[in-house]
């Protein structure tokens, strides 16, 4: 951090809480290793005494105590640290290039047919492994009375009647209805079957009808974790919303302060910082957005982000993907930020990899699926029981449902636009080690059948829209994943 900028931040932070920093104290803080943390400590110490002046004497005392405690703990670690740093230089990142291009389509009906056929084929390959053999809908209609079979279909429509769900489904051979009785059906819940999702069903022929006995979503299979990866931390954040009046720059500064602390073994071990979209708040993203903006132009917002990113230590590589607030094509799959905007961020002087949304990457043998999460809104609207106001409780189940459907945005034609690419790139066609999302501004860390799931919350206070839907954001949060054992830790900056 530049000296003048740091001095300004120290003074702002102290003044906000009513404290005065003397000149001598400011000089000591500027030279300290974790200046904002020391300042917090000083204010905390004064809170008890009621004094409001942070002076040289107080700081000398605090800095001495910090030096002593560090010397005690770190002395014998020195050698190990140097070795680890050297070893981690080689951390490799391979980005799946299918997600780096910008797709152009004509809007012809064949493009949509091809897109849905690709979705069907990719997901039916996964389902076939679970179901064994399956017949087409046309063949199912030719079954003998009471004969059983498995089918793989896409859901077109779902009706709820008193005793059963009626599902209108299709596959490449045709279209038909399946009756799912409300009692006596095993497997996945028909309530959680989303429109346009591909699923399997064990059915029995009954007159002209196909009656479901079991419903099966593609799901993920648990994989054994190989131990090859190194002890290195990947830091994951999202939804920074620079430019918004609600952006908590002070908390983000605390994060920057932490990541710069070479004396903190965790901070020192961070090698990659992944930002999963909504880097800036953007402009014209929703009606009357200007009322909630502090910085009105996207270029200025990016310049501010660039200044903040210049404070990331050079040992940390940045991976940046877009979200729905960033200046890039809105429909999924989103390409990386356009060149002119990347150039603004690159002025930070940091090493950056720009990825699309979603993005697949392999970091030192571990697979990361990074997805901003636009489609989550549509799933929340569709599934009874899910709501924006209950995400603190249900976000884990929501993200697990995405993995069980093996599709990042199954519902076509709702609020999230999707480009009908020749290959459906939103199918989760491999099982990632880490699934990182954002967008809903609520933090979550958990795991499902071996997949580590993270939602990295936000750096923006509650907006008026969120207040309206009762969403309580998790503000000022990052997730840390250790490549060695994929353990996850969420940390909040206050």
Pairing of the two strands 477-482 and 488-492: antiparallel
User: Which x/- pattern, by CB under 5 A, does the window 404-443 give for Fe ion?
Assistant: ----------------------------------------
Q: Is residue 281 part of the contact set for Fe ion (CB under 5 A)?
A: no
For Fe ion, the closer of residues 212 and 235 by Cβ is 235
**Least Cβ distance, residue 439 to Fe ion (angstroms):** 6
Q: Residue 157: count other Cβ atoms within 10 Å of its Cβ.
A: 10
**Least Cβ distance, residue 54 to Fe ion (angstroms):** 35
For Fe ion, the closer of residues 269 and 416 by Cβ is 416
d(CA 394, CA 77): 42
Cβ atoms 434, 418 nearer than 8 A = no
Residue 140: strand pairing partners = none
For Fe ion, the closer of residues 421 and 455 by Cβ is 455
**Least Cβ distance, residue 13 to Fe ion (angstroms):** 25
User: Which x/- pattern, by CB under 5 A, does the window 130-169 give for Fe ion?
Assistant: ----------------------------------------
197 contact partners, CB below 8 Å, separation of at least 6: 154, 155, 217, 405, 407, 410
**Least Cβ distance, residue 278 to Fe ion (angstroms):** 3
For Fe ion, the closer of residues 239 and 377 by Cβ is 239
Q: Is residue 239 part of the contact set for Fe ion (CB under 5 A)?
A: yes
**Least Cβ distance, residue 171 to Fe ion (angstroms):** 37
**Least Cβ distance, residue 473 to Fe ion (angstroms):** 9
User: Tokens at residue 153, please?
Assistant: 């279909």
299 backbone dihedrals φ, ψ, rounded to 5°? -60, -45
Cβ atoms 25, 59 nearer than 8 A = yes
**Least Cβ distance, residue 335 to Fe ion (angstroms):** 19
Residue from 278, 281, 394, 414 in contact with Fe ion (CB under 5 A): 278
Q: Which stretch binds Fe ion (CB under 5 A): 7-15, 237-245, 362-370, 424-432?
A: 237-245
Question: Which three-class secondary structure state does DSSP give residue 113?
Answer: helix
**Least Cβ distance, residue 244 to Fe ion (angstroms):** 9
Q: Which stretch binds Fe ion (CB under 5 A): 47-55, 239-247, 411-419, 472-480?
A: 239-247
User: Tokens at residue 34, please?
Assistant: 């974790």
Q: Which stretch binds Fe ion (CB under 5 A): 106-114, 150-158, 231-239, 253-261?
A: 231-239
For Fe ion, the closer of residues 196 and 278 by Cβ is 278
For Fe ion, the closer of residues 42 and 332 by Cβ is 332
For Fe ion, the closer of residues 439 and 452 by Cβ is 439
- Where are the extended beta strands (E) located within 142-260? 148-160, 164-171, 174-181, 186-187, 198-206, 209-216, 233-237
19 contact partners, CB below 8 Å, separation of at least 6: 42, 43, 46, 52, 53, 54
Cβ atoms 137, 177 nearer than 8 A = no
- Return the closest-CA partner of residue 175 out of 125, 138, 142: 138
d(CA 390, CA 479): 21
Site of interaction with Fe ion (CB under 5 A): 239, 278
């Amino acid at each position: 951090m530049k000296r003048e900028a740091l001095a300004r931040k120290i003074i702002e932070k102290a003044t906000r809480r009513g404290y005065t920093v003397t000149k001598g104290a400011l000089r000591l803080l500027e030279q300290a290793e974790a200046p904002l943390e020391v300042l917090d400590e000083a204010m905390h110490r004064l809170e008890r005494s009621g004094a409001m002046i942070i002076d040289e004497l107080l700081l000398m005392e605090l800095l001495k105590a910090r030096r002593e405690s560090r010397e005690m703990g770190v002395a014998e670690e020195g050698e190990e640290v140097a070795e680890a740093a050297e070893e981690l230089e080689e951390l490799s990142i391979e980005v799946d290039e299918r997600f780096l291009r910008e797709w152009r389509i004509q809007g012809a009906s064949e493009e949509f047919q091809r897109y849905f056929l690709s979705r069907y084929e990719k997901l039916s390959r996964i389902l076939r492994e679970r179901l064994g053999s399956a017949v087409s809908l046309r063949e199912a209609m030719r079954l003998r009375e009471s004969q059983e079979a498995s089918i793989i279909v896409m859901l077109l429509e779902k009706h709820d009647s008193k005793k059963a769900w009626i599902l209108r489904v299709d596959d490449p051979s045709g279209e038909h209805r399946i009756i799912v009785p409300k009692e006596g059906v095993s497997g996945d819940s028909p309530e959680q079957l989303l429109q346009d999702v591909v699923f399997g069903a064990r059915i029995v022929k009954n007159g002209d009808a196909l009656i479901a006995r079991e419903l099966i979503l593609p799901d993920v299979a648990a994989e054994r974790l190989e131990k090859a990866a190194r002890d290195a931390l990947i830091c994951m954040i999202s939804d920074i919303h620079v430019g918004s009046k609600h952006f908590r720059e002070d908390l983000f500064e605390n994060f920057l302060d932490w990541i710069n602390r070479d004396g903190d073994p965790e901070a020192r071990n961070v090698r990659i910082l992944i930002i999963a979209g909504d880097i800036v708040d953007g402009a014209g993203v929703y009606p009357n957005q200007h009322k909630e903006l502090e910085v009105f132009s996207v270029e200025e917002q990016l310049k501010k982000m660039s200044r903040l990113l210049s404070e990331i230590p050079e040992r940390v590589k940045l991976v940046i993907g877009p979200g729905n607030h960033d200046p890039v094509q809105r429909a999924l799959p989103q390409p990386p930020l356009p060149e002119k905007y990347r150039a603004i961020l690159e002025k930070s002087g940091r090493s950056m990899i720009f990825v699309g949304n979603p993005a697949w990457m392999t970091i030192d043998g571990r697979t990361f699926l990074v997805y901003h999460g636009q489609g989550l809104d549509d799933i929340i609207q569709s599934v009874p029981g899910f709501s924006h106001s209950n995400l603190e409780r249900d976000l884990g189940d929501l993200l697990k449902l995405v993995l069980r459907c093996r599709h990042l945005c199954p519902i076509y034609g709702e609020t999230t636009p999707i480009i009908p690419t020749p290959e459906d790139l939103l199918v989760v066609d491999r099982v990632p080690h880490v699934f990182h999302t954002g967008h809903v501004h609520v933090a979550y860390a958990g795991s499902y059948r071996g997949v580590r799931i993270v939602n990295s919350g936000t750096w923006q206070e509650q907006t008026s829209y969120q207040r309206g839907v009762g969403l309580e954001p998790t503000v000022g949060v990052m997730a840390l994943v250790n490549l060695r054992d994929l353990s996850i830790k969420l940390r909040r900056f206050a």
